[in-house]
Amino acid sequence: MSQSEDSSVLRKPYIAANWKMNLDRAKALDLTKTLKARLGDGDDREVAVFAPFVYLADVAAVSQGSPIGLGAQNVHWEKSGAFTGETSAPMLRDVGVDRVLIGHSERRQIFLEKEEWMGRKIRQALDHDILPMLCVGETLDERKKGKVAAVLRRQVRSALDWVEASEIHRLCIAYEPIWAIGTGEVATPDQASEAHSIVRDVIADMFGDAVAGSFRVLYGGSVSKDNVRDLMSVPDVDGVLVGGASLKAETFLPIIEYDR
Ligand code: PGA
């Protein structure tokens, strides 16, 4: 399926920062202030930061009154209980979080998060009015073995099994090829296009063409000011999830303003 004119109106460009385990409190707040001042009340693109848990409340206070979305980098699938070290959706909501990353490849690979948890986490986020961004993507080995489509279909299907058609507009997906994350190696526009249309086709299959046409799929993996324009010009790429280049205003602002 390709992008229609109508759907491009619904699919507002989405530029998201994944700060991972970086920055300190002062730097996180400084960067937020800079973004806030620069963005004004602009609403032609959606901008969000996914901050470390311990800074969420402070970033929420600083970003208040601006259009910047505030996200956490993970959430537990239960709303409370004996889960030492975990954070629940109601807790996130409580400190002003409105979105969350689910299944980032670093969570899956380093912390051995299981595929079957993703849908439950999405369910929990939606139930507490938090917008999930599901991360999917293949390893280099899977790509070499021609398994990209199979991997993406499996990851998307198993996670979205927990979502009703009426809720799907509250979600988005970030396609992040694992070989491109933090490596400086970026997917070519053709590779991104292929992967994004695979993801969109699964959405169409599960929820219908109309839903798929308005659903946003972001690209992540070594996005920089030098490649963002090419990536954003791929018809099925609706935004970018940015790690390393989101940590400083001078590298992140040009990404937000990729078309100016
Ligand atoms: P990167 O990270 O931009 O540093 O490659 C992207 C991500 O992991 O979300």
Q: Could you state, in order of their start, the residue ranges of all structural domains in the chain?
A: 3-256
- Note if 86 is an active site residue: no
CATH tag for 3-256 (out of 3.10.350.10, 3.90.180.10, 3.20.20.70, 1.10.3720.10): 3.20.20.70
pLDDT tens, per residue, the chain with 260 residues: 444 444 555 799 999 999 999 999 999 999 999 999 999 887 899 999 999 999 999 999 999 999 999 999 999 999 999 999 999 999 999 999 999 999 999 999 999 999 999 999 999 999 999 999 999 999 999 999 999 999 999 999 999 999 999 999 999 999 999 999 999 999 999 999 999 999 999 999 999 999 999 999 999 999 999 999 999 999 999 999 999 999 999 999 999 999 98
Q: How far is the CA of 166 from the centre of ligand 1 (A)?
A: 30
Ligand 1, from 140, 219, 222: best to mutate by most atoms within 8 Å of Cβ? 222
- Residue 29, Ramachandran bin (φ over 0: left; ψ between -120 and 50: alpha; else beta): alpha
Q: State what percent of residues in the chain have pLDDT above 70.
A: 97
Phi-psi region of 137 (alpha: psi -120 to 50; beta: other; left: phi over 0): left
Q: Which atom of ligand 1 is nearest to the CA of 220?
A: 6
Residue 182: per-residue pLDDT:
92
Quote the pLDDT of residue 131. Answer: 98
> Is there a catalytic annotation at residue 115?
no
pLDDT value, residue 43 = 82
Q: Report how far residue 191's alpha carbon sits from residue 187's, in angstroms, rounded to the nearest whole number.
A: 6
CB contact set of 250 (below 8 Å; sequence gap of 6+): none
The rounded Å distance from CA 19 to ligand 1 centre is 9
Question: Which residues does 71 contact at the CB level (< 8 Å), separation at least 6?
Answer: 16, 48, 49, 50, 51, 97, 98, 99, 100, 101, 133
Q: Is 204 exposed, middle or buried (0-12, 13-18, 19+ CB in 10 A)?
A: middle
Query: Ligand 1 pocket: which residues have CB below 6 Å?
Result: 18, 176, 181-182, 220-223, 241-245
Residue 215 confidence (pLDDT): 95
For 201, the 3-state DSSP assignment is helix
Atom of ligand 1 nearest to the CA of 223: 3
Distance CA 113, CA 115 (A): 7
176 C-alpha vs ligand 1 centroid, how far in Å? 8
Catalytic site residue from 76, 104, 128, 196: 104
The residue nearest atom 3 of ligand 1, judged by CA position, is: 243
CA distances from 52 to 10, 22, 70, 137, 198 (A): 30, 8, 11, 22, 31
Q: In 55-147, where does DSSP find H-type helix?
A: 56-63, 89-94, 105-109, 115-127, 140-144
Q: Give me the catalytic one of 46, 113, 176, 196.
A: 176
* Distance in Å, CA 208 to ligand 1 centroid: 30
Q: What is the pLDDT of residue 3?
A: 42
